[in-house]
Amino acid sequence: MASAQYTTKTYTLNTGSKIPAIGLGTWQSPPGQVEKAVEYALRAGYRHIDTALAYENEAEVGKGIKNSGVPRSEIWITTKLDNPWHHRVQEGIDSSLKSLGVDYVDLYLIHWPSSTDPNDLKKTIPNWDYMKTWHEMEKLPATGKVKNIGVSNFGIRHLERLFSDPETKITPAVNQIELHPNNPSPKLVAYNTSKGIHSTGYSCLGSTDSPLYTNKTLLDLAEKKGKTVQQILLVWGLTKGWSVIPKSVTKERIEKNFQIDGLTLTDDEIKTIDSMPERFKVCGDDWLPDGVQVFFGDDE
């Protein structure tokens, strides 16, 4: 990427749709702050907003979009089907569209491969799992309510099961997964790519109070480049070929995270980051229903 124009960069999905390379994440953003964060981001030039039914902030996101003055047609909106809604896909998208105040979303994801019983969150829905959910998702693009469908937190074995089912007609456009130097998941990213699935990295900065911000390797590189650790992390992910959705509610940080055009990392600098030995996950699977395991440690 000779010119390193990340802020206008898009990735072409297997549907032909173009997803903006940088988006604003809204997971764990406190109530009352999301609306302003979305407005700040769109005014700063972001054109990709990521939310989810489970975040309970879609209404605020929708208000921020309206307040920004940016036309809906210029904004990529991703939202996600919550686990207890797996058997109610049509209701799920209708709920999200109503909260967001829009007629369609650009990308709708199965948030987790866990069909949770809405009456008992420690159990799964009887006679149902994410395979059936995906087949319900496949009906959505024809309705006009959803431009693209995809998944989130799916591992290789989840995707292999999906592809082995003769009823599967549509390949997910995106797999949104946790991606940062301490959870790089190279095997999973390579698998996604081999199947024509675009990877989006969530918690790409390592989330709130990230240990990455005090990592000497990253601090030294940031000092050398005259940039922030966050900016280095974003360009690392973009150079690797995935879209990134850094989360912030602070105007200055939202703007700073978008000021990365012109920043390039050499092959050696990428290798230095790749070789960081520490490992941690921001988001585990121990909160899911009994017997549901999502992460198997096979991503590397």
Q: pLDDT at position 242, please? A: 98
Within 8 A by CB and 6+ apart from 214, the residues are none
Per residue in 155-188, pLDDT (tens digit) is 999 999 999 999 999 999 999 999 999 999 999 9
Mean pLDDT, residues 114-129 = 96
55 is catalytic: yes
Is pLDDT above 50 for 1? no
Per residue in 10-40, pLDDT (tens digit) is 999 999 999 999 999 999 888 889 999 999 9
Is 6:246 a contact under the CB 8 Å cutoff? no
- pLDDT band at residue 203 under the 50/70/90 scheme: very high
Is 12:193 a contact under the CB 8 Å cutoff? no
Instruction: Name the active-site residue from 6, 40, 46, 55.
Output: 55
When the pLDDT of each residue in the chain is averaged and rounded to a whole number, the result is 96
HSE at residue 103, side-chain half, CA atoms within 13 A, is: 4
Mean pLDDT, residues 83-99 = 98
- pLDDT band at residue 84 under the 50/70/90 scheme: very high
